[in-house]
Amino acid sequence: MSLIIFMTSDRPKFFVISVLLTAFLGYSIFLYSALPIKQTPLNKEADAGKFIWQKYNCNACHQVYGLGGYLGPDLTNAYSFRGKAYIKAFLNAGVSAMPNFHLTDSEINDLLAYLKDMDTSGQSDPRSFTINYDGTIQQ
Amino acid sequence: MTEPFNNKQQLNTSKVFILAGLLLLSAGMLFGLAGALQYLFPDFLKQKLSFEKIRPMHVTTVVFWIIFGATGGALTYLQQHTGKKIYSKLLAQLQLLVFTLTVVAILIFYFLGIFGGREYWEFPPVLALPIVFGWLLFLINFIKSTGSLKNQPVYVWMWLTGIVFFLFTFLESYLWIFPYFRSNIINDMTVQWKSYGSMVGSWNMLIYGSSIFLMEKISGNKNYSHSPIAFALYFTGLFNLMFNWGHHIYTLPTYHFIQYISYAVSMTELFIFGRIILLWKSSLSAALKLAHHIAYRFLIAADVWIFLTLFLAIIMSVPAINLYTHGTHITVAHTMGATIGINSFLMLAIAFDILHDTCIPFARYEKWLRRGNWIANISLFIFWSSLIIAGILKAKWQMRIVKIPFADMMLQLRPLFIILFISGITMTIGFLYILFPLVKNQLICQLKKLTHKDNLKENRPSEFITGN
């Protein structure tokens, strides 16, 4: 009964929304100011490679950490798994589902630098995780 | 500036928003089919319209169907709620113009292969500016038309929440343009998926708000939208919108607390899920009572999809299960269940309610809509199930100690992609059954009205001269 009275007047609603908004903004500001990975100097080649990745919309077909398209494989750790030469051959020729984008040498080098940077950021393979008793996971 | 609202058979800006949304939905389905065909025949349109172009075309048209439809629904029902016209017709028209031109520009850019290359918003960042501008016009129009939030029903709170949070999360999704956020991939993806997770919740708020308004309109009972349970569910939804985005990035090496918060918050959805189960009997009797109402049939279809999608969402929010489903077609099944099964059916109910009253009696088309509803729902169920099975097979492949190559795994999924494509075709046919009479009647009646006006002008020269 008291809950009904509590929720039918306006003041409690404004109170709840204020609490939620404050918590949300606090959470957001915390994440922006204390980003999970401590900033390192910008790797110019890798940064340029990220723009190449975006310019050709690689995300439409490929995944990074399981996020992105489903037509091609996840490329998070492709650099260490497949190697530079293998990736270069793919980029130069294309495959049945992937067109040849006719990338320049400099674009290919930047893209490789980005894939290398991505590879060193962590492991995306789900087999590398362990499951805890409470249903959470850890690497 | 506000005037009394009269909605009788006039084509106003909010209706044009919905009509444009329906056209975008049709285009989105066709792009989706073309994309599905490329899964089966990789060489199909490979030179002119390869998959990295088709996919964003599909995503953009479908996302903008939701945005256009949700805007049109909220603007129409806001006027019906207040009993007055919106604050500024001009702002709404300007928003419509800006959004339409932006969507056209985005599709041209995709066709030419010019990308910004981010998930969802794959167009160059400069095109985000008109979207922000148009959305600000929407916010101003909404606030000025609503006035105070005091004693407002839950749907007004939901509309306002949807508008504000879409703007916030949309801007947040562009933080990557600053090197501070972009320079590390983990930081970038954490912020990117924080924004996307909440953004989906924001357009859901807009659509669910309009659905509650419509439900009350159909049932004639206005009590629900002021009830404590309605606000309790709204706050649960808002809580999830704000903090339940972490399930997208459980496997990303980011802060662990993101996983714990998201996991805990997502379990509050069990409250919504439990309520659906608890009320199934009364929902069923209401469904039988109101089954003659076409809009209600779409709402019922959406209800079934809410049940299925919420069940899938809750189990996918458990990190141990998410580890298996992440990156597989089960995620796509969840997205399709939410965007087609829930959002599109809710918006079809809203579109029907707003558009069916024209100069042409709609009774003769009711059979079309009933048939379309069944075809679309059965097809969607087959489509959804084939994605889940494909997802289970991919999950098994991901967890194997010795893996076969990715291309071979995709080849094993081919029979499921064939089912996906065929059910996609029948689903499109089902939707076209519904869309065609709604759009056609509106266009014919507007053309009739225009020619009638011209005839009147031609036949009244003396009145014009004398000024009578």
Structural domains in chain B, CATH included, are 275-304+315-450 (1.20.210.10)
CB nearest B399 (choices: A6, A126, A137): A126
B190 contacts on A by Cβ (under 8 Å): 31, 35-36
Taking the C-alpha atoms of residue A135 and residue A117, their distance in angstroms, rounded to an integer, is 31
Shortest CA distance from A133: residue in chain B: B320
Question: Is ipTM strictly over 0.90?
Answer: yes
A125 contacts on B by Cβ (under 8 Å): 398
User: Which segments of B183-225 does DSSP mark as H helices, in order?
Assistant: 185-219
Give the pLDDT confidence of A74-96 residue by residue, as tens digits: 999 999 998 999 999 888 887 77
Cβ contact A47–B179 (<8 Å): yes
List the one residue out of B96, B28, B121 whose CA is nearest residue B344.
B28
Co-location of A67 and A102 in the same domain: yes
Co-location of A123 and A56 in the same domain: yes
Question: Does the residue A38 lie in any domain?
Answer: no
Q: Are B56 and B120 in contact (CB under 8 A)?
A: no
Co-location of A55 and A115 in the same domain: yes
Q: What contacts B21, CB < 8 A, 6 or more positions away?
A: B64, B65, B66, B67, B68, B69, B72, B347, B351
Residue B467, pLDDT above cutoff 50: no
Cβ contact A60–B52 (<8 Å): yes
Co-location of A50 and A10 in the same domain: no
The total number of structural domains in chain A stands at 2
Cβ contact A69–B51 (<8 Å): yes
CATH number of the CATH domain containing A60: 1.10.760.10
Residue B315, pLDDT above cutoff 70: yes
Give the pLDDT confidence of B231-281 residue by residue, as tens digits: 998 999 999 999 999 999 999 999 999 999 999 998 888 777 677 766 766
Co-location of A107 and A73 in the same domain: yes
Co-location of A22 and A78 in the same domain: no
Question: Which domain does A104 fall in, by range?
Answer: 44-127
Cβ contact A6–B259 (<8 Å): no
pTM: 0.91
Q: How far is CA B443 from CA B15, B69, B379, B440, in A?
A: 12, 17, 29, 5
Chain A nearest-CA distance from B64, in A, is 18
Shortest CA distance from A71: residue in chain B: B39
Cβ contact B149–A10 (<8 Å): yes
Specify the pLDDT at position B454. 58
Co-location of A78 and A113 in the same domain: yes
Specify the pLDDT at position B30. 96
Specify the pLDDT at position B1. 44
Co-location of A63 and A109 in the same domain: yes
Chain A segment 75-94 residues within 8 A of B by beta carbon are: none
CB nearest B51 (choices: A32, A61, A135): A61
Q: Which residues pair with A138 in a beta bridge?
A: A130
Give the pLDDT confidence of B279-290 residue by residue, as tens digits: 766 766 776 666
Question: Does the residue A98 lie in any domain?
Answer: yes
Co-location of A55 and A114 in the same domain: yes
Q: Which residues pair with A131 in a beta bridge?
A: A137
- To test the contact with chain A by mutation, choose from B53, B225, B251 the residue with the greatest count of A C-beta atoms within 10 A, namely B251
Co-location of A57 and A23 in the same domain: no
